[in-house]
Chain A
């Protein structure tokens, strides 16, 4: 009697193992987890995460919690690994050969470096805006529609509606609504960057990563972008890398200070900037080095 059951159980287990689909972040999120997610719940959990390019270890045992619908900024001197850390959240570093990640990054409890994770699905949930505006050499409309089309949205009316919505969300609609068929490259730098934000928002991510998004912009365009970021917080979880400490102070709820690949200090932005616990943090934010 018993051996029979064991046999059967084993078979079922094997079958289950074989038919196990690759984990899709979306399934997990739409399973209701996200709807229940309240502001302030942990969205990204980084646990003793290390990352190396070849022999060069750029992140050392970094730990950090990013909470939902907050702006978390990562600051630190050039080469401290802040961009690398950000680009681990959507596994953009996969594009570089010879890298290795140790430790865990959990997004809503899901280890994103699990070999079964489909990076394409991950990136649909974790959008990104880059340091230099990088619109595609396509029309303004197609810049945003591209992401929708590759994600399987064929219905024209839906594409039109979502393009408009994301342009409104990124505060660009009023400026471009009459010239949607112009090239995305014809826009000014600040507009291009907001177009890139719109492109990221169009596919309805939950998290938006921003890698020094204002570093190529003039002060007015920067102010507009910052205003936008603060507003986006209502719907999205935002992680922003910046070398501009005033910017971090202005827009973020939490700040992480990274140096030489190590997390020096992480906490509420106000505390970091008014009463840092470490001397080195104080020296950095007061501009004594960096």
Chain B
């Protein structure tokens, strides 16, 4: 009575299942393939250049006659733009999150939050030119000896770009803090600002840290803005007014050039890619763990 009369139906069911399975595994395979290629090329690179040289040399000149393969200048460039970006994004993002979560009425939040999130939807190339053609000239009025390419303007604009990342996730975390905690604080005679900063903010701290780490990860990996506005000169410097080069911008530079396949110069792309991947991977893991911990505390 209950046997399937139509085997065609059964076959169709199976094929649909296989198709869905294939699609879901596609991204897993892609990730694995990327990691494989990164690792094999990186391995090839370290056959020629020692890990010690890579980590300690203070110059990065793979394209010059005298080649140096020290990741430090690129890492320093990346860190510089990232730190500047965070100095913009963390305070602004957190304050807007506090406002949206604790002060804004539901209707204001419903309008402002999506608008803020639009910031993240602007193509990064637009931000890059905004930094190069608008922010740098403005900065020139304040610092007359700033270079046309510099980490300051790239970092500032990148900071604006990642504000929504910080504010949106932090706001989610603060919004998830149960109302009864706020009530408890009000009941002992707290002012609104004390509730926001002494109770809600610390209670949402793990969610906020996750948001910040995610923003760091985004800033480290960000390519277009720094490639356009920060320059392409690997300098080991903390001066934000001079041209630098970030890891991501270097990858763009080499990838766009005519570096022959299989050469050591070519392999540097993958070493840089691997460095970036390891940094962002580690940060994303940390962020994931923190967010999970946050979810466990209140439910």
Please determine whether A127 and B182 come into contact, CB atoms closer than 8 angstroms.
no
Please determine whether A92 and B187 come into contact, CB atoms closer than 8 angstroms.
yes
- Selecting from B132-140, B145-153, B195-203, B251-259, the interface stretch reads B195-203
Question: Is residue A136 within 8 Å, beta carbon to beta carbon, of the partner chain?
Answer: yes
In the assembled complex, the Cα of A120 lies from the Cα of B189 at a distance in Å of 5
Please determine whether B188 and A203 come into contact, CB atoms closer than 8 angstroms.
yes
Question: Is residue A140 within 8 Å, beta carbon to beta carbon, of the partner chain?
Answer: no
Question: Pick the contact of A203 from B105, B184, B189 — CB < 8 Å?
Answer: B189
Contacts of A128 in B (CB 8 A): 183, 187
Which residues 110-130 in A have Cβ within 8 Å of B in the complex? 120-121, 123-124, 127-128, 130
Closest to A151 in B: B189
Question: Is residue B190 within 8 Å, beta carbon to beta carbon, of the partner chain?
Answer: yes
Contacts of A150 in B (CB 8 A): 188-191, 194, 198
Please determine whether B183 and A92 come into contact, CB atoms closer than 8 angstroms.
yes
Categorize the interface residue count of chain A.
Answer: 20 to 34
Contacts of B184 in A (CB 8 A): 130, 134-136, 196, 199
Chain A CB within 10 Å — which of B184, B186, B199, B297 has the most? B184
Question: Is residue A224 within 8 Å, beta carbon to beta carbon, of the partner chain?
Answer: no
Closest to A122 in B: B189
- The 5 closest A-B CB pairs, nearest first, are A147-B188, A124-B189, A128-B187, A134-B180, A134-B184
Binding site for B on A (CB under 8 A): 90, 92, 95, 97, 120-121, 123-124, 127-128, 130, 132, 134-138, 146-147, 150-151, 185, 196, 199-200, 202-203
Known: A146-B199, A147-B189, A199-B188. 19 other contacts (CB 8 A): A90-B187, A95-B182, A95-B186, A97-B105, A120-B191, A123-B186, A123-B187, A124-B188, A127-B188, A134-B178, A136-B181, A136-B199, A137-B202, A137-B297, A138-B202, A146-B198, A185-B297, A196-B184, A202-B188
Task: Pull 25 A–B residue pairs with CB atoms less than 8 Å apart, ordered by A.
Answer: A90-B187, A92-B183, A95-B182, A120-B190, A120-B191, A127-B187, A127-B188, A128-B187, A132-B180, A134-B178, A134-B180, A134-B183, A136-B181, A136-B185, A137-B202, A137-B297, A146-B185, A146-B188, A150-B189, A150-B190, A150-B198, A151-B188, A151-B189, A185-B297, A199-B184
